[in-house]
């Protein structure tokens, strides 16, 4: 797990050097139940109030399991930037997303792993 997180941090911190096609490699490093489990805890503490249980939305934020946010439509880099810097209102009437304060890059990556796993589960239904 430490090696996977190290690789993940390396990919995240290298910025635009890596292209979108490398996002699949980023996800491959996250294929760990422990990382997703930690991501669930962090999601519940930081994202649940707006995005709902399992990313299914609330009256305060959109469903992250919607296809608009799937990895084919929203890159990992864009997801991470939205968490770190916020995001303007685009597809819904919820208003802009504020940055999520106090998370490390590792924690953001764990949340991303959890959200991507929930998206995959939702697509299989």
At residue 19 the predicted structure's pLDDT band, cuts being 50, 70 and 90, is: very low
The predicted model scores a pTM of 0.75
Domains in the chain, CATH or no CATH each: 2-124 (1.10.760.10)
Average pLDDT across the chain, whole number:
84
Q: Which of 64, 66, 45, 67 is nearest to 54 (CA)?
A: 64
pLDDT at residue 20, rounded to an integer: 47
Residue with the larger pLDDT of the pair 2 and 102: 102
pLDDT at residue 91, rounded to an integer: 85
Residue whose token pair is 């929930």:
118
CA distance 94 to 81: 18
Residue with the larger pLDDT of the pair 44 and 29: 44
For 57-98, the pLDDT digits (tens) are 999 999 999 999 999 999 999 999 999 999 999 888 999 999
Question: Out of 29-43, 82-96, 105-119, which region has the weakest mean confidence (pLDDT)?
Answer: 29-43
């Amino acid at each position: 797990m430490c090696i996977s997180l190290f690789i993940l941090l390396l990919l995240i911190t290298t910025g635009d050097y890596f292209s979108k096609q490398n996002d699949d490699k980023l996800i491959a490093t996250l294929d760990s139940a422990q990382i997703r489990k930690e991501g669930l805890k962090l999601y519940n503490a930081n994202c649940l109030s707006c995005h709902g249980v399992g990313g299914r939305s609330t009256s305060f934020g959109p469903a992250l399991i919607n296809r608009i946010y799937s990895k084919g439509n929203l890159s990992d880099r864009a997801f991470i930037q939205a968490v770190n810097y916020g995001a303007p209102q685009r597809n819904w009437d919820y208003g802009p997303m504020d940055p999520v304060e106090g998370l490390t890059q590792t924690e953001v990556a764990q949340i991303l792993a959890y959200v991507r796993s929930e998206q995959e589960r939702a697509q299989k239904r």
